[in-house]
Structure 1
Amino acid sequence: MTPRVHLREITDDNVAEVRRVRVRRRQRMFVDSVSESLAEAAATPQAAPWYRAVYADDVPVGFVMLSWNARPAPGVLGPYYLWRLLVDRRHQRRGYGGAALRLVVDLVRADGAAELLTSYQPGVGEPLPFYERFGFAPTGEVDDGEVVLRLDLRR
């Protein structure tokens, strides 16, 4: 039986266990940790950070963070920008990342967004193939060394 994947608010009750979500060592060049992400969210309120833990049943298996309907400005992509998507090293290759991304896309589309942006750091093992499977395509832009991708939500 496949565990039910859902997004859960991060609270005082679960923040410690969510901070223990870790990617593989070779993936650290591509994505910041949960702790680093939460600190960045707190330091960048103008980016309208929205974040959730990814749970499979009652086990935290990942983390997502977006700019939610933010006004684009220097250092802020948007209005909807997927900053982080990570799945714990012990739970990878089980479909949790894809399930989490589908949930995020559904939520952003339901909010009336026409597109969802994300970006990635190029390199061996980069996440581009993962995002391409969902329909993301390069915009031709590079932001702080990262290739910007766009998903058209009107389709």
Structure 2
Amino acid sequence: MSPRLEDITPQNFETAVGIRVRPDQEHAVSPVVQSLAEAYVHPAGVAWPRLITDEGRAVGFLMAFFDIDWHGDGSLRRSGLWRLNIAAGEQGRGYGRFAVDAVAAEIRRRGGDECYVSWHPGPHGPEEFYLRLGFRTNGETSGGQTVGVLPL
């Protein structure tokens, strides 16, 4: 396995938006096309969308966020993993861990010391995955989702 991150370009856009998680996970993560639309409407530098490839094959998509105003009032700024979509047939091969590690490394490179993520609680959600990677719930929710933090 030699995964890497690629910028989203006109050449790989269709490939990126074609990534689909398992049907039982669709309720827990927005489709890639919605993530790209959200990246477009946020100020430059906030959203960091990337295609995850392995030996030229698209295996997933991630989008990080950097230095966002968490409460919308300037009182708290955070960075973390906004979206993670690993293609249905590629799950369980380490690509999710690779994605989290890549986002954590980019946050550290930018001077951050915590990585945030939120997830839908319940069956077929990613809670166990994030907890195994070291995220811990902090008692917060965001839009009905559980918030977790990973110290870097």
| TM over 0.5, shorter chain | yes
Q: How many Å separate the matches in 1 of 2:78 and 2:45? A: 9
Gaps of 5+ in 1: none
Q: How many Å separate the matches in 2 of 1:92 and 1:123? A: 19
Q: How many Å separate the matches in 1 of 2:89 and 2:123? A: 21
TM-score, with length taken from structure 1? 0.89
Q: 2:122 is matched with which residue?
A: 123
Q: 2:65 is matched with which residue?
A: 67
Q: 2:141 is matched with which residue?
A: 142
Gaps of 5+ in 2: none
Check conservation: 1:61, 1:96, Cα contact below 8 A: yes
The residue matched to 1:108 in structure 2 has which SS?
A: helix
Q: How many Å separate the matches in 2 of 1:136 and 1:53? A: 23
Offset at residue 21 of structure 1 (A): 0.7
Check conservation: 1:78, 1:117, Cα contact below 8 A: no
Check conservation: 1:67, 1:78, Cα contact below 8 A: no
Instruction: Provide the aligned length of Structure 1 versus Structure 2.
Output: 151
What is the letter of the counterpart of residue 11 of structure 1? Answer: T
Cα offsets for 1:65-111 (capped at 9, x unmatched)? 11122333439985202110110012111111111211221221222
Q: 2:22 is matched with which residue?
A: 24
Query: Within 5 Å, which residues of 2 pair with 1:83-122?
Result: 83-122=82-121
Check conservation: 2:119, 2:127, Cα contact below 8 A: yes
Check conservation: 2:80, 2:104, Cα contact below 8 A: no
Offset at residue 45 of structure 1 (A): 2.9
Check conservation: 1:138, 1:147, Cα contact below 8 A: yes
Offset at residue 39 of structure 1 (A): 1.1
TM-score, with length taken from structure 2? 0.91
Greater strand content = 2
1:15 aligns with 2:13: yes
Offset at residue 43 of structure 1 (A): 2.7
CA RMSD, Structure 1 to Structure 2 (Å): 2.0
